[in-house]
Structure 1
Amino acid sequence: MSAFNFVLNKAREIYGLKVIVEHLDTKYASHCIPALKCLIINSNCNQDDLPLIAGHELGHYVNGDEPRSSIATFSYTANEEAEADKFGIGLLYEYAENEDLVFDTSQDFSQAFSIPKNRQLQVDELAKNHRNVFYTF
């Protein structure tokens, strides 16, 4: 199973969300609509980014975040964005554990899952709880 499908299955099976994956114009970002229990994932992006994008949007739902404006121009606080990324990264660690994937370093993990460099501290923090994903830590 791919990491993307793993995250989508979590959204559907554990959280009971409707998940819509569509190839939309790039001006439309993926987003969560909590009131409708729905994730909309725009697949018109680098396909390697999709697992973290889906995990991030699921993180907004799980964290109880509410968009601050209309669907077309929704926004969250910087803290909510960071927490949503942290949730998504945690799901990717869970996926790696389930698939018996191992990495030499947390940077290798980040590269494998297209995690941005500005989230490396979150990756490192979560790595402490997922040591079985690494050969060495």
Structure 2
Amino acid sequence: MDWGKQLQLKAGQSTEISEGDRLQKERFDRVVNVMKDPAATTFSFVVYPEKTPIVESQRAAQELASFGIPTQLVVANLVIPEEQAVTPFFQNRHKMQQKYLAEISSHFPGTVQLQVPMYAREIKGLAMLGEIAATIF
């Protein structure tokens, strides 16, 4: 991020930095440095296996990359398992999802990619998180 442009917008072309602005910039720089450090932060996107969420996440990942913040993980959520695709509706959705799951690999090279299947109930609570962990890891 070009901090100088932010200050110009805030101060109306003045280049003098107040103590408050200096402290804010230092805090901002510390946060960005933590976000840039893959050992300290894992930046991930959770997407539905559909075109719009993938394209929007790719755009956001590119924007973050321009600041030196890498995307390390992409999770495809609500993936319909093949064995559950027994009606024409779910067969069509499953086929569509498979196409977009393949695209995730090309849109996010070098990232870890996980798939979370669609569950019949809401994912809420530690027990459900444990069930998901057992499924995807």
**Per the shorter chain, which TM-score range?**
under 0.3
User: TM-score, length-normalised on structure 2?
Assistant: 0.26
Which entry has the higher C-alpha Rg, 1 or 2? 2
User: TM-score, length-normalised on structure 1?
Assistant: 0.26
